[in-house]
Amino acid sequence: MNFQPGFDIHAATEPLSFTYGPGVFGPQPELRKLDSIRKSLLDPTCTGPEIVYVIAMDVGKHEHQPDLEKRMLLYGAVTYAAGKLGREPVRSQGHVHKVSQHSGWSPPEVYEIWRGRAIILMQERATSDPGQCFAVDAGPGDIVIVPPRWAHMTISADPASPLTFGAWCDREYGFAYNDVRAHGGLAWFPVYEETGSENSEQIIFEANPRYQPSTLVRKSPATYSDLGIAPGIPIYRQYEASPETFQFVPQAYQMADVWENFIP
């Protein structure tokens, strides 16, 4: 991996999986297949890798497990296949985080890119009026935060290289897909477009006509000093040094004023 996550976890690509070193716990990764995300794609009949990505929810150091459970905080790791989904890049189908019973909030999520290039596509709402829409370009070491209640998906922006990232999540995590699926995906579809240079492509975005017209802002990651996050330091190590740092994930109400006018 290009950016070390701060604990002994390793992503494999043949096949897609994760392995854990001494002192690290983690589950058998769950597989997400192409057939399970077709309804959210621009071309539901497209070809692409059979296993689009694998996800390992609840990984970390054994010594931290009791504290993470007490805090309702969970670390997840995801790796995407290389390749394309028809005209689209490899990506997830998009979802909104379910409201957690313990907090009464749809929790935020804190991404950290380890390898490859990512675009985090997010919109304020999964209803017909999507509100603000952002596409945040990120590379190894970058941090991107999805605020509470926002619909979002993760895009692998380099078809030649797998994408791997980690994320702080609510331990009572859950995904709501109904509104996204009802609209055939999010408000914007990422597609490859030839640039004119030999064998060169770029990702552009096409509006999903099932939504009301919206404006997509494409940008670099913000800095999150108002949330107490430091750049360049693995987010797991930041938790290790100060376990309160990411308490705003399971307890999003702590930062209600920050989310009100949040720009990712």
For 71-106, the pLDDT digits (tens) are: 999 999 999 999 999 999 999 999 999 999 999 999
Look at residue 1 in the predicted model and tell me its pLDDT: 59
User: Which has the closest alpha carbon to 36: 104, 119, 94, 100?
Assistant: 94
- The H or E element containing residue 169 is strand 164-170
Q: Enumerate residue ranges in the chain where pLDDT < 70.
A: 1, 196-199
Burial class (CB in 10 A: 0-12, 13-18, 19+), 42: middle
Look at residue 237 in the predicted model and tell me its pLDDT: 98
- Domain residue spans in the chain? 9-259
Between 3.40.47.10, 2.40.110.10, 3.60.21.10, 2.60.120.10, what CATH number should domain 9-259 receive?
2.60.120.10
Mean pLDDT of the chain: 95
Look at residue 179 in the predicted model and tell me its pLDDT: 95
Look at residue 14 in the predicted model and tell me its pLDDT: 86
Cis peptide before 5 (omega within 30 of 0): no
Write the CB contacts of 186 (distance below 8 Å, at least 6 apart in sequence): 40, 94, 121, 123, 126, 130, 151, 152, 153, 180, 208
Look at residue 39 in the predicted model and tell me its pLDDT: 87
Look at residue 197 in the predicted model and tell me its pLDDT: 67
Strands 9-13 and 24-25: unpaired
- Work out the end-to-end distance of the chain between its first and last CA atoms, rounded to an integer number of angstroms: 25
